[in-house]
Amino acid sequence: MSITFTRETNASVKANIVQEVLADLPDWFGLPDSTIEYVDAARTLPLWVARDGETVVGFIDLATTSTATAEVQCMGIKRAYHHQGIGQQLMAKLITSARQTADYLQVKTVAPGYYATYDQTNAFYRAMGFEPLEIFPTLWDAWNPCLILIQKI
């Protein structure tokens, strides 16, 4: 396996990449309306792609939320490629770019204790240096409380 990382600039290609990867992750991205929002947002955001040869295996994209803060808008690694360091490498690319314009990086995810898959996601972000800022119990839905994690970059 030889994973390469590139920055994609073509809006249609970015949308297709996000759609393909999220379709492989129904435990995380099983709400069709939310998935459509992630795909549409990717068209205009900086996006990095991980490939195994010609096969897309993951992506991460970056949004600006304020003059001081950037956000991991969405990230996905196909299930067969989990736990191989690909997410860490994508995050490193995003952080290098985000540091050019922001002092903080945030990510929104589901609060711990609700879904085992998101507990894994939380563990990944904590390992990447993110710290919990606040839980918003009804930002999304009562059954889907939003945890905002941050880090100074």
- Region of 143 (left: φ > 0; alpha: ψ -120 to 50; beta: rest) is alpha
Give pLDDT, residue 49. 98
| Strand order across the 69-77 sheet | 3-8, 47-52, 55-64, 69-77, 104-110, 144-152, 131-141
Q: Which domains does the chain have, with CATH numbers?
A: 3-152 (3.40.630.30)
Give the residue, 33 or 151, on which the prediction is more confident. 151
Averaged pLDDT score across all residues of the chain? 95
DSSP string, 30-81: --HHHHHHHHHHHTTS-EEEEEETTEEEEEEEEEE-SSSEEEEEEEEE-GGG
Q: What is the pLDDT of residues 28-50, one digit of tens each?
A: 887 778 889 999 999 999 999 99
Task: For helices 32-42 and 11-23, give the axis angle rounded to 10 degrees.
Answer: 150
Which helix (H) or strand (E) segment holds residue 117: the answer is: helix 116-127
Residues 4-36 have pLDDT tens digits of 999 999 999 999 999 999 999 988 887 778 889
Q: Tens digit of pLDDT for each residue in 59-116?
A: 999 999 999 999 999 999 999 999 999 999 999 999 999 999 999 999 999 999 988 8
> How far is 38 from 74, CA to CA, in rounded Å?
7
Structure tokens at 69: 């803060």
Which pLDDT score, from 0 to 100, does residue 143 have? 86
- Provide the 3-class DSSP secondary structure of residue 153: coil
